[in-house]
Structure 1
Amino acid sequence: MTQGIIVTGTDTSVGKTVFAAALAQALGATYWKPIQCGLDGGSDSAHVRTIAGLPPDRILPEAYRLNLPASPHRAAEAEGIEISLARLKLPEVEGPLVVEGAGGLMVPVTRQALQIDVFASWRLPVVLVARTALGTINHSLLSIEALNGRNIPILGIAFVGDEVADSEHTISGMGNVRRLGRLPRLDSLEPAHLAQAFADHFRVEDFR
């Protein structure tokens, strides 16, 4: 069985791609984003390769690359594509695997399946990435409740943004999840700077 970690977010644009890049870099892992929606600004896979400095063989090709920046079910329909859950089977890789989801947990992958349903079938632990801005307590606790409701193991929560100690403490305490750390805003996303920021704010042992 593939040993891996799912990186998901409480919402879109919370910083999970940057966090996933930092985690893959720290673990020496392979990175996979199964579904990419929105290609105008380039793919998350290409971004991760650049900011984490990963070699090409540690970036797996997406199962689906869709042009429209929308939820997977809608982006696929716009191109006349039917997403097959069979194509979302976890790949076999040497060493650890970091899998990044698209958007939040309740995003429809098809008209019949949510992303959280796919996660449940994989049976891998999840790192929930949350912003520290206003509204994060509600989004985070709802996401934790959804994961618990499907018996998906939560490795912990990783925050991205400026420090808001009370929100971080409230979420980890009321959600009964481990606070893994907080990735601050970075002026530079060069591989060395990203690696240092992860080392300064997280313990790599917590992810193994």
Structure 2
Amino acid sequence: MTCACSAIWRWNSMSVTRTKKGLFVTGTDTGVGKTLVTAALALFLRRRGYDVGVMKPVETGVEDPSGLGADGQLLQWAADSGDEIDLICPYRLRAPLAPSLAAEKEGKRIIFGDLLEAAQTLSERHGYLLIEGAGGLMVPLSGAVLLLDLVKALGHPLLTVCRPTLGTINHTLLTMHAARSNDIPLAGYIVNNMPQTPSEAEAQAPNALVEVASGDLLAVLGQVPGTPREQAQALADQLERVPTLHWLFSGLDV
């Protein structure tokens, strides 16, 4: 009997030779703003002269899968990328569901090796590669294969984007624990979308995480208005001013 475990073993044996630097951005759950943060990081690095490649392995909820979805378009713009859309986002699916469910609904299957090959090509083309996941680490890509398996196979440090709201301590620690348990290197975490007038729970969240999390708090980014491009630019501006900028550089290995 062939099980998902043997499939994961075969796929994980397809190692990606990382001749260039990179970072994998995940979130504690969906909707935390990881696409905006990834776009802001692309802008931030480009301002420093880096040639940045971007990749979103799977995007669901794409109205027209013949082109990039909203997330892929934002990343493409932020990196000023001329790469093929099938490299920027190899799997674009209509249904706003978990990747494995969205693919199944369309009669498709997400092939792990395709994602590794796309990442390898982008890594060879660019000095730095930013990869943004879908949902959180435990989101299923295909059957029992999780996004976590892809992160581990790619080998780039993991940056976690989390909320400042009540519950973020549990969600952030669970994400980081899952990564450490699978020998995934941690770049740190960013608290995103902090309100201008935070509640007590929101105001205390960063300090509480610092006390219990083993990773570095790289930045606390405030809420920003505007279009996604305007928001990404505003967040990139905030990254320029964070007092822990040296930690951010260390986490990004640049």
TM over 0.5, shorter chain: yes
Structure 2 partner of 1:56: 81
**CA apart distance, 1:111:** 0.5
Q: Distance in 1 between matches of 2:223 and 2:75?
A: 16
Give 2:56's aligned amino acid.
K
Cα deviation digits, residues 33-82 of structure 1 (max 9, x gap)? 011111139430112344x3x32326743110111111110000000001
The structure whose Rg is larger is 2
Structure 1 partner of 2:36: 18
Give 2:150's aligned amino acid.
V
Unmatched segments (≥5 aa) in structure 1? none
Give 1:205's aligned amino acid.
F
Pick from 182, 187, 193 the counterpart of residue 234 of structure 2: 193
**CA apart distance, 1:183:** 1.5
Contact 1:10 1:130 in 2 (8 A): yes
Structure 2 partner of 1:7: 25
**CA apart distance, 1:128:** 0.4
Unmatched segments (≥5 aa) in structure 2? 1-17, 47-51
Contact 1:126 1:155 in 2 (8 A): yes
Taking only aligned residues, the RMSD between alpha carbons, in angstroms, comes to 1.9
Match of 2:189, SS state, is strand
- Per residue, is there more helix in 1 or in 2? 2
Q: Show the 5 A alignment for 1:137-148.
A: 137-148=169-180
Cα deviation digits, residues 115-156 of structure 1 (max 9, x gap)? 101111111100000011111111111111101110101110
Pick from 14, 38, 42 the counterpart of residue 61 of structure 2: 38
Match of 1:17, SS state, is helix
**CA apart distance, 1:161:** 1.6
Contact 1:158 1:182 in 2 (8 A): yes
Contact 1:19 1:183 in 2 (8 A): no
**CA apart distance, 1:95:** 0.5
Give 1:9's aligned amino acid.
G
Contact 1:157 1:172 in 2 (8 A): no
Structure 1 partner of 2:3: none
Match of 1:56, SS state, is coil
TM-score (normalizing by structure 1):
0.91
Structure 1 partner of 2:249: 205
Change over 3 Å in CA distance of 1:140–1:192 after alignment to 2: closer
**CA apart distance, 1:165:** 4.2
Q: Distance in 2 between matches of 1:167 and 1:124?
A: 27
Structure 2 partner of 1:182: 220
Give 1:17's aligned amino acid.
T
Contact 1:132 1:160 in 2 (8 A): yes
Q: Provide the identity percentage.
A: 34
Match of 2:82, SS state, is helix
Contact 2:59 2:91 in 1 (8 A): yes
Of residues 192-201 and 63-72 in structure 1, the stretch that sits farther from structure 2 once superposed is 192-201
Match of 1:5, SS state, is strand
Give 2:181's aligned amino acid.
G
Q: Distance in 2 between matches of 1:107 and 1:192?
A: 28
